[in-house]
Amino acid sequence: MNTRAKRLILPIGGAIAATSMIGATLVTSASAATAPTKKTVALASASSAQKISNYWTANAGANLKAAGQFVGDEQVSGKVKLGGGDAAPSGKAGTVPPIGQEKITPTKVKNVNLPKTIGKVFFTVGDKEYWCSASSVQSKYHNLVATAGHCVFDEGVQNGALDNWVFIPGYYQGKAPWGIYVGKAAYTHYDFAVYEDYDSDYAFVTVYNGIAFAGEKAVSKATYDGWQGYKFIDKQEIDKPAYDKLVDEFGIENAPVTTETTGTEVILPWGAKDGERARKEVTKDEYDKAASVPRNANFHQSRRVEKVVVSEADYNAYTGPGYKKIEDHAYTITHYYLSYWVKKSSTTKYFKLVYVIEYYKDAGRLGDNVGGQGFTWNQKVGQPVYAFGYPAAPHPDGDKPFTGVTPKWCYGKTFAAAAAAKFKAEAQIGLKCSMTAGSSGGPWILKYSSTKRLGYINGVTSLIGDADANGRIDFSTSPYFDAETYAIYKSAANLWSGSIVTKDGDLVSKA
């Protein structure tokens, strides 16, 4: 691969053009020894991980369910040739065996059992939630996730990484059967993190021990106020004597009670005893209807109309009963009021406040729960692999065969993918595959055993495309895993993480 050379040339720009080819070669060689190949970004400290886990677990996982597949621009458009790229071994091939396995016997295509290691990574971009595909991979502390670089890194954000990053193996409709794993640190190639060179579009993320929901319980207000995890107040209606008893016991300032007063209005004949005048805003139609009938016992002939000019933003946001109209380029809202004779009354309801916290248990290490795929590099191009992922987006022609709810797979022999200049991709491998967006980051597994559900990760889905321009996605690409990939993987694979759940079931508090 030539990623190192590209990295050195890119910052220099036109300066190399002014030198001879020999001079350019000398500059590249002299700088290679000190050029960075690894980019590391902290995703969350143990103390800040609670905020991230709360983001995804609060309100019955509403944000998880709201997430959409991450599309970005990782789709090669137009007719693309297959083959012709520079993907090739840079040295001797190597392997790291999967967790708990020393030998893998490949399985043919029939009866493919999906690996337990695969799942979704969730993250936010701005105020929107997204997901990609990923897999657990073998590491020293059984705590490593492999995915695409563009599912973790974004040089345009503050620290170079996407926010609120978690991995959920086996995720299905808001459920996390083996826990939620908050990312601690992410590793990728310097070329991708800084120059968005998709020849290095991979990332390895160390994650903390998983957290799993362990229940909820009522606690004191002091415990509730100090709780860092998800919590809520349950209002239980009680009668006035029960309310007074709690006030006497705790004092009005500290009693776990509250009240709600609701008012009612009953329309009376105009001027009736115990009544009073009340003005009510109505719609234009209600106003016109009232104005068209003679004065009667209930409606007084007191009417009022107010027209106001507002901004375009306020005009568009307004949803009240007023009449909206654009007049002479001015945004107007007309308010209509009628007067009634009513008897007003109020009702007070009494409530006991129950302070409820959700607590968690340590779900253990990722690899101990779902296993971890092996890892391999410098493999010959042309070997059969399985690619797994959660495709969800429609094909370019609008057909939408995937839901993103369950993982899918492709099988075939890899080939040297053609260059994709838009993504600086010159040394990727390809696979004939119909999986659409959502499959990004999913593992390409060499020598996969359907019986053991394990093999060796030899790539991750990076780009997708339509080779024959018929409106159907028909191939995927992956960065070629070489010795530099292994070096970055090895750095991530030796990082310890640990638990973020305290012995009391709370998440580690923020200092």
Give the single-character DSSP code of 490: H
Q: What is the pLDDT of residue 100?
A: 64
Q: What is the pLDDT of residue 19?
A: 24
For residue 140, give both structure tokens: 């020293």
Return the percentage of the chain with pLDDT > 90, whole number. 48
Interatomic CA distance for residues 199 and 204, integer angstroms = 15
Q: What is the pLDDT of residue 9?
A: 24
Q: What is the pLDDT of residue 15?
A: 25
Interatomic CA distance for residues 374 and 448, integer angstroms = 10
Q: What is the pLDDT of residue 483?
A: 93
Q: What is the pLDDT of residue 107?
A: 63
Q: Are strands 68-69 and 323-327 parallel, antiparallel or unpaired?
A: unpaired
Q: Is 147 within 8 Å of 187 (Cβ atoms)?
A: no
- Single pTM value for the model: 0.71
Closest CA to 106 of 490, 458, 417, 441: 458
Q: What is the pLDDT of residue 8?
A: 26
Q: What is the pLDDT of residue 59?
A: 73
Q: What is the pLDDT of residue 105?
A: 65
b/e per residue 424-453 (b: at least 16 CB within 10 A) = bbbbbbbbebbbbbbbbbbbbbbbbbbebb
For residue 22, give both structure tokens: 């020999």
Q: What is the pLDDT of residue 54?
A: 80
Q: Is 122 within 8 Å of 115 (Cβ atoms)?
A: no
Interacting residues of 466 by C-beta distance below 8 A, sequence separation 6+: 76, 77, 78, 79, 80, 396, 472, 473, 474
Q: What is the pLDDT of residue 176?
A: 86
For residue 185, give both structure tokens: 């640190």
Cα radius of gyration rounded to whole Å, the chain: 31
Interatomic CA distance for residues 292 and 460, integer angstroms = 72
Q: What is the pLDDT of residue 156?
A: 65
Helix (H/G/I), strand (E/B), else coil: 15: helix
CA distances 143 to 23, 52, 114, 209, Å, are 45, 18, 20, 7
Q: Is 151 within 8 Å of 131 (Cβ atoms)?
A: no
Which parts of the chain register pLDDT below 70?
1-36, 60, 71-85, 100-110, 155-159, 174, 293-301, 503-511
CATH no., domain 36-209+365-493: 2.40.10.120
Domain spans in the chain, listed from the N-terminal domain onward:
1-35, 36-209+365-493, 262-348
Average pLDDT, the chain: 83
pLDDT tens by residue, 432-443:
999 999 999 999
CA distances 145 to 31, 167, 498, Å, are 32, 8, 15
